[in-house]
Structure 1
Amino acid sequence: MNMPIFYVGGSKGGVGKSKLTFALIDYLLDDGKQVLLLESDTSNPDVYKAHHQHENGMLVCKEIDLDISDGWIELVNAADEFPDHCLVINSAARSNTGIAKYGSTLRETLAELNRNLVTFWVINRQRDSVELLRGFLNVFPDALIHVCRNLYFGSPEKFELYNRSKSREIIERKGRTLDFSDLGDRMADKLYSGRMPIKKALEELPI
């Protein structure tokens, strides 16, 4: 089995997808994995801007547009070209439309690519977070999905709509519900304004 494809989704702006992608890339690199970042947020490619200047033998960065069919073909080709790399896809806020139209391009080639799809779906406390998750489940019913409650929006028990939803029951048959701790505003601002990956921030920023 080749390295997994990690999809960081949520389909909403401001739920914390980019911050989770920062953390995932840092975790994989620290674990000795090679990483191919595919940045699909073409409007605000913060993750790409922070990482592409630090590319090396372990990290490759590309931008793709998953609003169009060619972008999904490019994704599949990248997965085939870099079989030893974990693919990390940072999705855009509007990604639900592209997933509904073209997501089957990836779903139908996973077996041929010999890769598993692992999704981290970031949510806030609003209803559309859960509804957009249902849309993703319709396209990728067999994917391993972990839902990440972003605790910036409150404690776990405050995510009532998701906590009591049928979607949670479906998710937890295979995946998990995870809590993503709030990142201090000062640190978050430094990561974005300084456009630096977490490892670089740990080396350069004061305690």
Structure 2
Amino acid sequence: MNQPIVFVSGSKGGVGKSITSMAVLDYLTAEHRYLRLLEGDTTNPDVWKSYHREVESEVLDLDSVDGWIQMVNVADANPFKTIVVNTPARNNDAVRAHGSLLLDSLKELGRPLITLWVINRQRDSLELLNEYLQMMSGGMGVVHVVRNGYFGDERKFELFEQSPLRDAIAQQGGQALYLPDLADRVTDELYSRRITLAEAVQQLKLGDRAELQRWRATVKEMLIAIGV
């Protein structure tokens, strides 16, 4: 089996897809994994702006069929590289229209598809997750839900915990993950400076670095648990 495609989604803006993608890239680069970043947010490519100097990267229009074709071609041409895809908001519309291009290619690619679905505490996050599960069923992959700690601690994600989607995720081999909150002052520095997490560890003030290192260590445990 070739390296996985890690699909970071949530199909809406503001749930934390960018910081989740950055966390994945940070972990994989620290593990010395061969990588390729596909940035799908053409409007505000935050992840690409921070990581294009460190990781092979390109920006794709995943609202169009051409973008999905290129994603499959990149995955085919780089079998030994983990492909990290940072998807745009509204991505379910594109999955509905073009997702079969990827699903139908997974067997030939010999790659598992790992989706990290980032949620907040609102019902529409779960409705969009349900749509995605239905559209992507039958593929060679697994969906993990990432509860973004920016929106509160784990017990506050009651809608998800009480939803049948939690069992549906578990039945297909997925896990309910928790992305710890990172202090606003640190995330502000990351986005304003357009730097990687590893660069931030070298450049930020001591207290900010300590907070970032705490967060990175917890994220590492989360990603190890799902075998990324």
Q: What is the TM-score with the length of structure 1 in the denominator?
A: 0.96
> Hey, what does 1:147 align to over in structure 2?
145
Which of the numbers 84, 88, 100 marks the counterpart of 1:88? 84
Amino acid aligned to 1:13: G
> 2:205, 2:24 → 1: CA distance?
22
- Give the count of matched residue pairs: 203
> Hey, what does 1:163 align to over in structure 2?
161
Amino acid aligned to 1:94: R
- Percent identical across equivalent pairs? 47
> 1:157, 1:51 → 2: CA distance?
33
> Hey, what does 1:188 align to over in structure 2?
187
Aligned-residue offset at 1:167:
1.1
Aligned-residue offset at 1:8:
0.4
> 2:15, 2:76 → 1: CA distance?
30
> Is 2:124 the counterpart of 1:125?
no
> 2:192, 2:78 → 1: CA distance?
30
Equivalent runs, 1:89-108 vs 2, <5 Å? 89-108=85-104
8 Å CA contact 1:146–1:176 kept in 2: the answer is yes
Aligned-residue offset at 1:66:
0.9
> 2:26, 2:42 → 1: CA distance?
22
Aligned-residue offset at 1:198:
0.4
> Hey, what does 1:178 align to over in structure 2?
177
- The structure that is helix-richer by fraction is 2
Amino acid aligned to 1:22: M
> 2:169, 2:24 → 1: CA distance?
20
Amino acid aligned to 1:158: K
Amino acid aligned to 2:94: G
> 2:156, 2:51 → 1: CA distance?
34
Which of the numbers 64, 76, 84 marks the counterpart of 1:68? 64
Aligned-residue offset at 1:204:
1.3
Aligned-residue offset at 1:155:
1.5
**Moved >2 Å (runs of 4+):** none
Amino acid aligned to 2:204: L
Give the match's secondary structure for 1:103: helix
> Is 2:30 the counterpart of 1:34?
no
Amino acid aligned to 1:181: P
> 2:126, 2:185 → 1: CA distance?
29
Which of the numbers 60, 72, 78 marks the counterpart of 2:74? 78
> Is 2:203 the counterpart of 1:200?
no
> 2:113, 2:84 → 1: CA distance?
10
> 2:156, 2:43 → 1: CA distance?
31
Question: Unpaired runs of 5+ in structure 1?
Answer: none
> 2:144, 2:180 → 1: CA distance?
15
> 1:201, 1:146 → 2: CA distance?
27
RMSD, aligned α-carbons: 0.9
> Hey, what does 1:44 align to over in structure 2?
44
Offset from partner CA, 1:80-139 (integer Å, 9 cap, x none): 111111000001111111011111100000000010000100000001100000111112
Aligned-residue offset at 1:185:
0.4
> Is 2:10 the counterpart of 1:4?
no
Question: Unpaired runs of 5+ in structure 2?
Answer: 207-228
